[in-house]
Amino acid sequence: MKLNIALLAGDGIGPEVIDQAVKVSNAIAKKFNHEINWTPALTGAAAIDAVGEPYPDETHAICEAADAVLFGAIGHPRFDNDPSAKVRPEQGLLKMRQKLGLFANVRPTFTFPSLIDKSPLKRERIEGTDLIILRELTGGIYFGERGRKDNGDTAFDTCTYTRAEVQRLAKKGFELAMTRSKKLCCVDKANVLESSRLWRETVQAMEKEYPEVEVSYEFVDAVAMRLVQWPNSYDVMITENLFGDILTDEASVISGSMGLMPSASVGEKAKLYEPIHGSYPQAAGKDIANPLATVLSAAMLFEDFKLVEEAQAIRDVVNKSLAEGIVTEDLSEGGKAYKTSEVGDWLAENI
């Protein structure tokens, strides 16, 4: 197969972890006889510095023309402490999601047998955890009407959803549930929010199209609690943008490190793959960040192009590296800490 992939390394540790995913993907291409063309493009603070814009038109054109996008991270501390900054790296990410129509964000949480005891949660609570949070990504409070009034002393952000937006996300949730244990949990705050009541009523109306799927409805505050009590009781979950943002960060550390969980963002056509973690500016340029989340994001990419064996080969080599202790400092705990690039080299050589 021939794949054209746009490569958006972004900020902080983005370029370092992306390099490792490219090494591993190229090793897969060689082994399984595929051709991958990588096209780098600017995004985030790096793009602001170069052209004054966090998601330049040229980058959008490259992403649109590509079969998929592999994304590193964006964000820079110099913007975080400056609430008056007019242009922010994060705006690039939001613009990209919107312009590429990436309305469904697939964020899995699973455990690695060799890391079970690295989890902040007890072994018996997390064993068997394998869930996917499907987060709506182009609507809700992130994209609603916002502003200031009363001379700037009052600020507002509004959460708006249409039935069609809920339906297209829920459809992906039902379809995903059908390929797994046929359990779907709709996470909302329907006891308080009107937009949540629209979510619930829309999903309820869709239940009859998927009679085999067992649907549950839970409030987001209760889910936040149950996710640390019994994460292994969940399978596919669907939720709106902001709830999904918060719950997926909570869920992402269950496996033992922030640097492990991959994600995919998909729409009608475009596909983007990125680690769940952020730009980790304190580690930028030090060659210490864990590249596995990005490498596993590349595995999700291959799988979406029906290259199932290729995806499995990546997961197998990642498991092997963890079992043999070829790990970065976040997981080394007294043992040898390998560099980001050394882990990438080891994975590529062992494919």
List, by residue number, the catalytic residues: 142, 189, 221, 245, 249
**164 Cβ contact list (under 8 Å, min separation 6):** none
Establish if 245 lies at the interface with Mn ion (CB under 5 A): yes
Query: How many residues line the site for Mn ion (CB under 5 A)?
Result: 1
Establish if 90 lies at the interface with ligand IPM (CB under 6 A): yes
Establish if 274 lies at the interface with Mn ion (CB under 5 A): no
Closest CA to 75 of 62, 99, 60, 91: 91
* In contact, 248 and 135? CB cutoff 8 Å: yes
Q: Please indicate if the annotation marks 221 as binding a ligand.
A: yes
Q: Which does 45 bind (CB under 5 to 8 A by kind): Mn ion, ligand IPM, none?
A: none
Q: Which is nearer to Mn ion, 134 or 313 (CB)?
A: 134
Q: Provide the minimum distance between the beta carbon of 249 and Mn ion in the complex, in angstroms, as a whole number.
A: 5
Establish if 250 lies at the interface with ligand IPM (CB under 6 A): no
Can you name the residues that pair with 35 across neighbouring β-strands?
Answer: 2
Which tokens go with 249? 């960060």
Can you name the residues that pair with 274 across neighbouring β-strands?
Answer: 263
Q: Please indicate if the annotation marks 107 as binding a ligand.
A: yes
Site string for Mn ion, 192-211 (x = CB under 5 A): --------------------
Q: Provide the minimum distance between the beta carbon of 120 and Mn ion in the complex, in angstroms, as a whole number.
A: 18
* In contact, 232 and 178? CB cutoff 8 Å: no
Q: Please indicate if the annotation marks 245 as binding a ligand.
A: yes
Q: Which of 47, 93, 198, 247 binds ligand IPM (CB under 6 A)?
A: 93
Which tokens go with 228? 């640390």
Q: Which is nearer to Mn ion, 29 or 247 (CB)?
A: 247
Q: Is 10 helix (H, G, I), strand (E, B) or coil?
A: strand
Q: Which is nearer to ligand IPM, 32 or 143 (CB)?
A: 143
Q: Please indicate if the annotation marks 82 as binding a ligand.
A: no
Query: How many residues line the site for ligand IPM (CB under 6 A)?
Result: 4
**142 Cβ contact list (under 8 Å, min separation 6):** 94, 241, 242
Establish if 304 lies at the interface with ligand IPM (CB under 6 A): no
Mind giving me the DSSP string for 102-165?
--EEEEEEE--GGGGGGSSS-HHHHTT-EEEEEEE-SSGGGTS-EEEETTTTEEEE-----HHH
Distance CA(257)–CA(188), nearest Å, equals 27
Establish if 245 lies at the interface with ligand IPM (CB under 6 A): yes
Q: Provide the minimum distance between the beta carbon of 252 and Mn ion in the complex, in angstroms, as a whole number.
A: 9
Which residues sit at the interface with Mn ion, rule CB under 5 A?
245
Known binding-site residue numbers for Mg(2+): 221, 245, 249
Known binding-site residue numbers for substrate: 97, 107, 135, 221
